[in-house]
């Protein structure tokens, strides 16, 4: 893989991760751009003890443009986009409409392909390995920033999830705080270690590996539907080796992840005979907390609001208002259907 970087017209960084050589010499960003939109702020919810991001400048960002106006496609035929190069494999750049920017956070866009009409599921293991390497490289770079406490890597896919651009892409948020979800899970891991002396995530993996909810498994990874799944389709992917984050994966683990994840995404799209809307999120250890990094374990969670062909799960009052989820589909049946897909 070849890595190269440049600057966009307004000073934002763009990084290319290429499997093949691409000529970048004649691909500067010649657009005339205003300064990057800003104005976000963090507000502290005293009741829930959680940070809330207020980013009113994002209200007017581009929303589901036609393919010939996509800002993530490569620049070519006189049309200039967010990616100045006329071709690329994987490109990562600072978001022009970030939820957080400057001191106190950073938001990046990860373009999985220059092909507007493909998907991560259709790209295959080789490209997925390049994406994994890009995720790991950006996690390492962002974690080194003194204003970053936690790096969150994710993909929203499908209009049912609320995506604003159809082009296959994900995002990376470098946050100045540790997410509430991670804080709760670290507390559970801490309590488990105090009570049993064991590793909570390792014990969960061992229990699921021996049960009926495993979907896929190879030498380095296991994908399973969790016992207490909240969503109609929900799959967790754990590495067999306890590592805190994506940069800690070795080459064999990254290749095995690309192969298993490519298989899983293909099964997800075949589940209902149509592309599955989903959120796919990497849970990583906080950047610089030694105790937390010893407790946490890297893992991927993929979930979908699709519960049947033509039917979506909407959060009900108990779920949205009280955080108490109810499940219409048994995790065991979801695992079985994914194995058969």
DSSP string for 120-141:
HHHHHHHHHHHHHHHHHHHHHH
Cβ-count burial 278-299 (b if 16+ within 10 Å, e if not): bbbbbbbbbbebeebbebbbbb
Q: And the tokens for 117?
A: 């009409």
Rounded distance, CA 11 to CA 8, Å?
5
Which of 175, 190, 216 is the endpoint of a domain? 175
Which of 175, 194, 210 is the endpoint of a domain? 175
Verify that 11 and 156 share a domain, yes or no: yes
Verify that 109 and 163 share a domain, yes or no: yes
Verify that 21 and 94 share a domain, yes or no: yes
* Unique residue bearing structure tokens 């581009």: 62
* Unique residue bearing structure tokens 């070795």: 250
- DSSP-based three-state secondary structure for 248: helix
pLDDT of residue 306: 96
> Do 4 and 15 touch, CB atoms closer than 8 A?
yes
> How many other C-beta atoms are found inside a 10 Å radius of the C-beta of residue 131?
25
Verify that 309 and 255 share a domain, yes or no: yes
Verify that 223 and 264 share a domain, yes or no: yes
Verify that 206 and 297 share a domain, yes or no: yes
- DSSP-based three-state secondary structure for 221: strand
CATH number of the domain that 24 lies in?
3.30.428.10
pLDDT of residue 25: 63
> How many other C-beta atoms are found inside a 10 Å radius of the C-beta of residue 209?
14
Beta-bridge partners for 238: 222
Domain that holds residue 17: 2-175
pLDDT of residue 21: 72
Which of 143, 160, 175 is the endpoint of a domain? 175
pLDDT of residue 246: 98
Verify that 190 and 331 share a domain, yes or no: yes
Q: DSSP string covering 169-201, please?
A: EEEEEEESS--HHHHHHHHHHHHHHHHHSS-HH
Verify that 264 and 159 share a domain, yes or no: no
The count of structural domains within the chain is 2
Verify that 164 and 212 share a domain, yes or no: no
Given 169, 220, 236, 283, which residue is catalytic?
A: 169
Rounded distance, CA 5 to CA 257, Å?
26
pLDDT truncated to tens, each residue of the chain (341 aa)? 899 999 999 999 999 999 987 766 668 999 999 988 777 899 999 999 999 999 988 887 888 899 999 999 999 988 999 999 999 999 999 999 999 987 778 999 999 999 999 999 999 999 999 999 999 999 999 999 999 999 999 999 999 998 999 999 999 999 999 999 999 999 999 999 999 999 999 999 999 999 999 999 999 999 999 999 999 999 999 999 999 999 999 999 999 999 999 999 999 999 999 999 999 999 999 998 999 999 999 999 999 999 999 999 999 999 999 999 999 999 999 999 999 99
Q: And the tokens for 226?
A: 């969790």
Note the pLDDT tens digit of each residue in 22-40. 766 668 999 999 988 777 8
* Unique residue bearing structure tokens 């804080």: 183
Verify that 21 and 80 share a domain, yes or no: yes
pLDDT of residue 126: 97
Confirm whether 169 is a catalytic residue: yes
> How many other C-beta atoms are found inside a 10 Å radius of the C-beta of residue 10?
15
Verify that 270 and 324 share a domain, yes or no: yes
Residues 6 or more apart in contact with residue 290 via CB below 8 angstroms: none
Rounded distance, CA 81 to CA 5, Å?
16
Verify that 105 and 90 share a domain, yes or no: yes
């Amino acid at each position: 893989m070849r890595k190269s970087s440049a600057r966009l017209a307004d000073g934002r960084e763009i990084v290319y991760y290429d499997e093949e050589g691409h000529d970048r010499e004649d691909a500067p960003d010649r657009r005339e751009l205003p300064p990057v939109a800003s104005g976000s702020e963090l507000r502290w919810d005293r009741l829930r003890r959680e940070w809330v991001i207020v980013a009113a400048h994002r209200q007017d960002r581009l929303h589901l443009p036609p393919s010939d106006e996509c800002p993530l496609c490569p620049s070519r035929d006189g049309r200039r986009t967010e990616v100045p190069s006329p071709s690329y494999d994987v490109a990562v750049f600072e978001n022009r409409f970030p939820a957080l920017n400057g001191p106190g956070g950073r938001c990046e866009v990860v373009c999985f392909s220059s092909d507007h009409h493909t998907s991560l599921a259709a790209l295959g293991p080789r490209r997925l390995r390049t994406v994994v390497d890009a995720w790991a490289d950006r996690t390492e770079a962002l974690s080194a920033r003194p204003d970053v406490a936690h790096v969150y890597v994710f993909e929203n896919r499908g209009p049912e999830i609320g995506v604003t651009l159809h082009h296959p892409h994900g995002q990376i948020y470098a946050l100045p705080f540790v997410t509430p979800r991670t804080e709760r899970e670290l507390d559970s891991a801490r309590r488990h270690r105090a009570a049993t002396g064991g590793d909570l995530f390792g014990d969960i993996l061992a229990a699921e590996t021996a049960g009926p909810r495993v979907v896929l498994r190879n030498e380095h990874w296991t994908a399973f539907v969790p016992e207490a799944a909240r969503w109609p389709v929900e799959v967790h992917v754990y590495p067999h080796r306890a590592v805190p984050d994506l940069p800690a994966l070795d080459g064999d683990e990254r290749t095995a992840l690309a192969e298993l994840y490519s298989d899983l995404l293909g099964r997800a799209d075949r589940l209902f005979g149509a592309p599955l809307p989903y959120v796919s999120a990497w849970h990583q250890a906080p950047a610089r907390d030694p105790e937390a990094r010893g407790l946490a374990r890297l893992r991927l969670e993929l979930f979908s609001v699709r519960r049947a062909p033509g039917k979506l799960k909407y959060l009900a009052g108990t779920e949205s208002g009280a955080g108490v989820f109810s499940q219409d589909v048994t995790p065991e049946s979801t695992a079985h259907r994914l194995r058969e897909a």
